[in-house]
Every structure is written in C-alpha cells, then in structure tokens.
Amino acid sequence: MDSCIFVEYFDENSPRHNQIKYFFKRLGQTGKFAIASHHWALVEMTKVLTRKGFSEEKILKFTEKLLRKRRLDDNKIEWLPESPKKNYDFDDFFYDLQENLLEFKKHLADTIHITILMNHNIKYIATFNVEDFEGIDNLTVVDPRDIDNYL
C-alpha cells in the first residue's frame, strides 16, 4: 500500500477517509488480497501528516499501533523488508533503486515503493495517486475508490 492510504485512514476529516474505510471493509469481506506494506510508507506518511499539522504524539501512537497490532480495522497487514532475499543489504537496495530511477523516471519516494514491490514480486499497489505508478510492467494500480471493480 502506498503511504497515501495510511494518511487518508489516519485523517478522519479527510473526504477520502470513508472511501478508505469502505476499501478495507471490502477487502476484508472478500479475502482475495493480502495486505502488505513497508516501513518506507510509514516514513512518508509521517512526513505528510506532520505537514498537515497533526501532532507528532498522535502520529507516533498510530504508527506504533500499526506496527505492533499489524492491522487496520479487521485486516491484517504484513510489514515487508526491502527484499525477501537473504544477504540483500543496503548496497543491493540502493543499486536496484538507482536502476529503477533511471528506468522508470519516477519520483524517489515512488521508486522506493516500486523497488520494494518488485523485490517481493507484488503485482498490485493501492493508491489514490494512480499516475505515480502507471507504466510499470506487471504492476496493477488499484484506486481505492474503484475497489469493487477489482473484486
């Protein structure tokens, strides 16, 4: 999941908050998709929420709950490392990241997401920022507003 999903879930006053709640409700009802994300999404979420004026304490409590309980509502979240490969380290990650930046010509933050997804052979990403991930082979971009089209 892209960080914007966590941002909209956190911000109960956001016009997209109810769309995210519905998105997770539908995912939970079908059981068709596993939900996964990574720590980078939480770092990016923290940056956005801080800029929106939310308190650091509230953001940290939300982040800790996500990491410890590993769920949003009734949906379990798997927190992924940069790669499932043994001996994959930061040198490997930054090399892959550089290759992907050159190939896809996306923003750094989005390319970090893309690199982790590719390392795990993940074929779907949920995001409101569809255009940020378009054009990536073998990656289907799921806009939460259109979840019923994917189930």
| DSSP state for residue 128 in the 8-state scheme | S
- The DSSP line for 5-23 is HHHHHH-TTSTTHHHHHHH
Q: Is the pTM of this model over 0.85?
A: yes
> 93-102: long-range contacts (C-beta < 8 A, 24 or more apart)?
none
What's the confidence (pLDDT) of residue 86?
95
pLDDT tens for the chain, 151 residues long, are 999 999 999 999 999 999 999 999 999 888 878 899 999 999 999 999 999 999 999 999 999 999 999 999 889 999 999 999 999 999 999 999 999 999 999 999 999 999 999 999 999 999 999 999 999 999 999 999 999 998 8
- C-alpha–C-alpha distance, residues 112 and 39, integer Å: 11
114 burial level (CB within 10 Å; 0-12, 13-18, 19+): buried
